[in-house]
Amino acid sequence: MIRWIVCLLGSLVLAASVSAAIETYTFDSPEQEARFRQLGFELRCPKCQNQAIGDSDAPISKDLRAEVHRMLLEGATDQEIKAFMVARYGRYVLYRPPLDRQTLFLWAGPGLFLIIGIGLVAYRIRLSKRAMTQEISS
């Protein structure tokens, strides 16, 4: 019973810290608000190791959110907002960087490792099959 209470209290503390980044922004349309949220997920906080500006409490993330909001109200496209951020903070701010020579390994890496993995498994299966047929024939 006590364990349950401790768990409950612990989760309440965590929930409080998660909701700390709530600010009030007003938007012209729900569509604009959705874009704001999406950009908040796709832009990375330049100060934090691995947080999007949408869920970071760092002062710089707050500034960048305000900047995204300002640009949205001014009618900037998502592309323009991302270009604005990249011009200042480099491609580090993009969670989905464009595919080019620098990011090739980043994009191709998972597929590459999958192919290597499948190759290894196939090789092992062939080995054990051969061992079995040898056992049977002997």
Partner 1 sequence: MRRALLWLPLGVFAILAAFFFRGLSLDPNAQPSALIGRPVPAFALSELHSGAALTGQDLPQGPYLLNVWASWCITCQVEHPYLTELSKTLPIVGLNYKDERTAAQNWLAKLGDPYVLHLFDVDGQLGLDLGVAGAPETFVVDATGVIRARVQGEVNARTYARIIAPALAAGRAP
- φ, ψ of residue 8 in degrees (nearest 5): -60, -45
Nearer to partner 1, 36 or 56 (CB): 56
Using CB under 8 A, list all residues that contact partner 1. 46-47, 49, 58-60, 63-64, 67, 86-92
To partner 1, the closest distance from the beta carbon of 32 in angstroms equals 21
Nearer to partner 1, 35 or 91 (CB): 91
Nearer to partner 1, 29 or 134 (CB): 134
Distance CA 38, CA 15 (A): 22
To partner 1, the closest distance from the beta carbon of 63 in angstroms equals 6
> 85, 93 in Cβ contact below 8 A?
yes
Distance CA 9, CA 130 (A): 59
Nearer to partner 1, 25 or 46 (CB): 46
**Which of 72, 42, 44 minimizes the C-alpha distance to 56?**
44
To partner 1, the closest distance from the beta carbon of 13 in angstroms equals 27
> 60, 47 in Cβ contact below 8 A?
yes
